[in-house]
Structure 1
Amino acid sequence: MAISRRAFGIGLVAASAAATGGYVYLREHPEIAGRFGEAKRLFGFAGGEKEGFLANARVKSVLERRFGLILDGRRAGSVEMVREHALLDQKPQFLWPSSSVLVEVARSSGVKISRDQVIFNSPIVLYSWDRIAEGLVKGGIAQPAGGPRYTVDLSKLLKAIITGENWSSIGVADLFGRARVVSTDPNKSNSGFMFAGLAASLLSGDVVMPETLSKIDGDVATVFRRMGFKPPSSGKLFDDYVAGGPGAQPLIVGYENQLVEWVLQDAERWKRLEANAPAKPVILYPQPTVFSAHPLISVERQADELIEALTSESLLEMAWEDHGFRGPLGTIGKARNALLQSRLLERIDAVLPMPDAPVMLALLDRLAA
């Protein structure tokens, strides 16, 4: 049966409309496109603390099967990735640092941002050992918080470090030399960067401003000078802490999720340590602390889909269950692991905002001098 030209034309229009509608629908629903289309490959840099999350087989499977995304996420320091041209000149499609302040630093470095959004959070904490924490309690610097966890008056601790107090004078009798806390290099890694901002604000009595920075930047520099060697990444510092024990690494700065991730990697190892080790790792929550938000920066529009994927409920739960990252607003996930139940604070209310980007850049210059 012959088809009239008019009917044929209407059919073409309808097919075209259906194709256009289908394209728009798939574009707006990448989880559908991921099932049928070829996976999209995205290249970018991510902070070392997210290396385990990006290598997680479950995470990679969901990204590829549901969202059609394969990531080439290379490890880089959070501060370096938004400032160093050696990295930015590689044309990354996304950047995933560990502080919202670094979004503004990226803009000041000339990065053209399509979109940015915080994916998850982890508070800055101090890691120590049970007997050292108990000594700090005796010295009036730390307080028990129920279970093997503590809070710490960071302002008191910083002032003791600045004045050159020995460990014994702040309650820790069996450690040699002056009290110190070690962080990563603040000009390379975000945990050191955020600790520098937190220390500056505490020493100034409020969130540090341009007009108050010059009054306390020398004291902040003293805290960092007393650290000695500062590793370039949070992962390296945490590995040194676990391997070195209380004598080598009595007190370090890290992310809350690092101990969670380490425990979940090998539950039997953790149980052996809990039962037999002469010193056991503990978390001390600074009061106040700062939240390390992890914003995904989409440099090219095609990486916008990655934000949608990473904020899906399934991936946020994996971030918590397998790696200890809190979700939006600092909330913890649904799953509760018995090995960690008593070690984490469910709510963290004493939180300071980070100083503005220009203040932090000025502080970094002072610490690098």
Structure 2
Amino acid sequence: MVLYSTPGILIGYGLHHLGQAFSRITSSVLISLGFVLLSLTSEATPGYLWGGSIFVSVGGNIIRMSCLEFGNLFPERRNTVMGMVSGIYTLSAAVFMFMQSAFEAGYRWKMICQLMAVGSSLIVITTIFIPWHHIPHDDDEEADYDQQLECLAADTDKDGNKMKDGRINMSACERNISDVSAGKAPRSRQIPLSKSLFSVSMGLLQFWLVSNMFPITIFGTYFNSWISRFSRNIEEAAYYSRLFGYANILCALATPIPGSIIDALSAYFRKSKKGLDEKVANVQATIAPMMFVSLTITVQISCFFFFSSWAVYVALFFLIFNRPGCLGVGIPFMRAR
């Protein structure tokens, strides 16, 4: 978990300055190299496990973050797409479950890992057919018009007459309008990264993410210990374990739900609103889904206090929505702010 999350800030800088193609190819190389090292892992060479795990973790996070920009291709359903992209990666643990099943079925471990390495290298080929640098976003259709009005005001005096240095002013304005069209904030409006990172809003978001992701991690870590305390025999414990695996797979079906709800609420709150009010409405649309995720995670982790089959069913039912829902709601909130 630490190796997966800590390089995030470096991945963000890489995406921002080097673009999609570089990030995706880097992720492909890291994941493929990771599976090659895992194929060499054995009782005689356990050290390869560390390198393989690191490369697969970091490479997987790079490709996940690279895919988030694809939401910009669907302005009206951006949150739904981002939620699906984030949520689908909750199935990542299932990849190793499939690998283990193949190994138990008699396939050689080295061959399984090598096939995974070849599959991961296909990311390089798909990169050829998608945008190489950035996928521009169009947050505000009226942004160009607003910027032109500001430029016009800056280019005239209080009596509405052209200023002598109008050419210089308009040149700067044209650069700002060009930035808006490319999906970037105008130079005059750009907020320093430090101001955003160390704001109360960002702090509360990180608190919300940790408060919800940590219980989900704890639930997965101690699930087997929990069911072992009240299972009558090994067969019953194995049954609950299979249900846990199925619940994680079913997370894929729930991935569109959080973003779809946010998009619907956002469209409702944005009615007849423009400018700052419209932006505030986008943030407000995430509040109810965030509260729902927090409530259901609280119920899920509280099931640990009960030693009964019904508690397992309730906890796994909410797990289907919580794992994709946490990032599927958190990321749209971060983007809206």
TM-score normalised per structure 2 = 0.21
TM-score normalised per structure 1 = 0.20
